[in-house]
Structure 1
Amino acid sequence: MTCSLHVSAEVRALAPGFGHLAVEAHGLTNGPSDELSSGLLDEATRRLAGRLDGRAPQDDPHIAAWRAAYGAFGSKPSRTRNSAEALAKRALADGLPRINRLVDLYNAISVAHLVPVGGEDLDRIQGGMRLVRATGDEPFATAAGGAEIVEYPDSGEVVWCDDEGVTCRRWNWRQGVRTRLTEDSVSALFLLERMAPMTLDELSSAGAELAEALQKACPDARIEIGDVWSG
């Protein structure tokens, strides 16, 4: 893996059941959503409905564990939902949005496995990626009303950041615009995150499925699955 990942001791103490898996890809060809990516999103929604069997996403044990982790650093999980829960609710209510091929692929994996998945443009990451509790001084580039603005996380909030600032607020709640995958992205880091009771084998299975989908969509890409990290 060319991008280093580090989880701080403060985050490990906050959520000892946390683990992550990185999938790195080079030589990608992105573009508008297509038949392949749209079909994966539809299939993911069907798989999610089968898994939940009428329950709400927050009643799934894995999502409940994420809600507890959010509460542990002072975030209200019913207001700022982890990315997997937010996508699941949208899938069941209105259907999943079509963003671009690469974002569609990792959103499909997130919904099918009910696991938070993020995608970062490797060419825009400055230095390594770190999961830390914020001081509140780290800049976060986001968008509001069609314009790019800079916000700052709350003190103690769990954030992913690189050498330039925050890349994702509240663990995996909102990704910044600076490192997001666009239709011009050719290299990417995909990060899958779990809380116990999701097993490491289940996390690995989701990562392998993502790698397979990426290879199918981009046959010439080089895909590398990292080792599972667990605190």
Structure 2
Amino acid sequence: MPKFIIEDDFWSLFPQAKIGIVICQGIDNSIRDIDIYEKLLREAEKEAHKFFSLEEFSSNPVISVWREAFQKFKTKKGARCSIEALLKRVKNGNQIGTINPLVDIYNSISLRYGLPCGGEDIDTFAGDIRLTLANGNEPFIPLGSDENAPPYEGEIVYKDEEGAICRCWNWREAQRTMLTEKTKNAFLCIECIDETRSDEFHLALKELSELVSHHLGGTVKMEVLDRNHREMTIFG
């Protein structure tokens, strides 16, 4: 049975982190009513404005906490947490476009709660998934590219036995494991490093699982990994 394992080298940098996982099995991610997902995103964009209380964008807590985190490990120049990229688009008045139901759902949760969310297609995984520091030799084809762009040594990555599947923790995902309309089994995650936001984190995880179950069917299970619970079985 494949596992998701968070390695010790990650916990040595972020002992307070919580990684929430939603495993979705037997879902239907083909688009039926695009209006549903448009509505989810537009409502989430409105709610996201509550995170812009400070004039200087990068000083807002949901962004500054990740700016500080990204200084603790090797990153590609200009790499930013996924929630910062989403919120910046909203602040600049740009709508978040629909991609497919799973991505639209987790983007709406990310915007509403100010937490980074992501997802991968489980059926593309090779062996166990690890959140760890890269050795720098992991193959990585970024979403929308066909050129190998491996992570730096010491960069936080999600990876499996074939290579990296997300670089700079939650900055850029791999083409190989992307969610598509054909995805039947998905690995979704929400990341929290701000201990004061534990309640919002748990609410976001619960709402993510409920939205997937309601719109896409199948079965979902939630699990939270922290420094006292460092691995989980993906299936089984």
Letter in 1 for 2:107: N
How far is 1:40 from its partner?
Answer: 0.9
**Aligned pairs (5 A) from 1:84-95:** 84-93=83-92, 94-95=94-95
**Aligned pairs (5 A) from 1:71-82:** 71-75=71-75, 79-82=78-81
How far is 1:84 from its partner?
Answer: 0.7
**CA root-mean-square deviation:** 2.0
Q: 1:128, 1:61 → 2: CA distance?
A: 33
TM-score (normalizing by structure 2) = 0.88
Give the structure 1 partner of residue 183 of structure 2: 185
Q: 1:201, 1:3 → 2: CA distance?
A: 29
User: Aligned pairs, how many?
Assistant: 226
Whether the aligned pair in 1 keeps the contact of 2:54 and 2:60 (CA below 8 Å) is: no
Bigger CA drift: 128-137 or 50-59? 50-59
Whether the aligned pair in 2 keeps the contact of 1:200 and 1:228 (CA below 8 Å) is: no
**Aligned pairs (5 A) from 1:1-231:** 3-32=2-31, 34-53=34-53, 55-75=55-75, 79-93=78-92, 94-143=94-143, 147-218=145-216, 220-230=217-227
Whether the aligned pair in 1 keeps the contact of 2:74 and 2:153 (CA below 8 Å) is: no
Query: Do the aligned partners of residues 76 and 98 (structure 1) sit closer, same or farther apart at CA in structure 2, a change above 3 Å counting?
Result: same
* Deviation by residue 1:169-188 (Cα, 9 ceiling, x = unmatched): 00000000111101110110
Percent identity between matched residues is: 32
Q: 2:223, 2:55 → 1: CA distance?
A: 33
The 3-state SS of whatever aligns with 1:87 is: helix
Q: 1:13, 1:5 → 2: CA distance?
A: 18
Letter in 1 for 2:152: D
TM-score (normalizing by structure 1) = 0.90
List gaps (5 residues or longer) in structure 1. Answer: none
Runs of 4+ in 1 over 4 A off after TM superposition: 54-57
